[in-house]
């Protein structure tokens, strides 16, 4: 009974985090190179990207924890937990690359000083 209450929340939170990470990654990819400092870019890419990354880690932990709490989990549950953890790893790598590329562009001496 407990797993039925947690499953919809995990699915909704996973979908919301995925949508946020896709928006951040696509925005970073479309706006590169960052030659001028804007605080809105810093908040979106740096701050929100770090928050989404931390929430993705907690999402993966919640998925694994929910799986371990079930006395006799099905094979489908095992596949879904593995897929969730893999999806989390993919998103963390992509978000990390986006955040690193943003700060690397801003500290590149070839692009000139921050304005």
**Residues whose CB is less than 8 angstroms from the CB of residue 28 and which lie 6 or more positions away in sequence, other chains included:** 45, 98, 101, 102
Confidence (pLDDT) at 72: 87
CB 45, CB 99: distance < 8 Å:
yes
Give me 42's structure tokens.
Answer: 């810093």
**Residues whose CB is less than 8 angstroms from the CB of residue 102 and which lie 6 or more positions away in sequence, other chains included:** 28, 34, 41, 45, 46
Q: How large is the C-alpha radius of gyration of the chain?
A: 18
CA 58, 25, 49 angle in degrees (round to 5)? Answer: 40
Confidence (pLDDT) at 1: 39
**Residues whose CB is less than 8 angstroms from the CB of residue 25 and which lie 6 or more positions away in sequence, other chains included:** 94, 95, 98
pTM of the model: 0.83
Tens of pLDDT, residues 93-109: 999 999 999 988 888 77
Confidence (pLDDT) at 73: 85
Tens of pLDDT, residues 17-68: 999 999 999 999 998 888 778 888 899 999 999 999 999 999 999 999 988 8
Evaluate if residue 90 carries a pLDDT over 70: yes
* CA separation for the pair 52, 94 (Å, rounded): 12
Confidence (pLDDT) at 33: 83
């Amino acid at each position: 009974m407990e797993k039925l209450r947690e499953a919809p929340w995990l699915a909704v939170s996973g979908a919301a985090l995925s949508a946020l990470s896709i928006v951040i990654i696509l925005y970073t990819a479309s706006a590169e190179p960052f030659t001028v400092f804007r605080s809105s870019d810093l908040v979106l890419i740096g701050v929100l990207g770090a928050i989404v990354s931390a929430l993705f880690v907690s999402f993966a932990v919640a998925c694994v924890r929910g799986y371990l709490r079930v006395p006799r989990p099905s094979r489908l549950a095992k596949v879904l937990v593995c897929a969730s953890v893999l999806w989390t790893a993919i998103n963390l790598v992509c978000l990390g690359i986006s955040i690193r590329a943003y700060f690397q562009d801003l500290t590149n001496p070839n692009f000139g000083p921050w304005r």
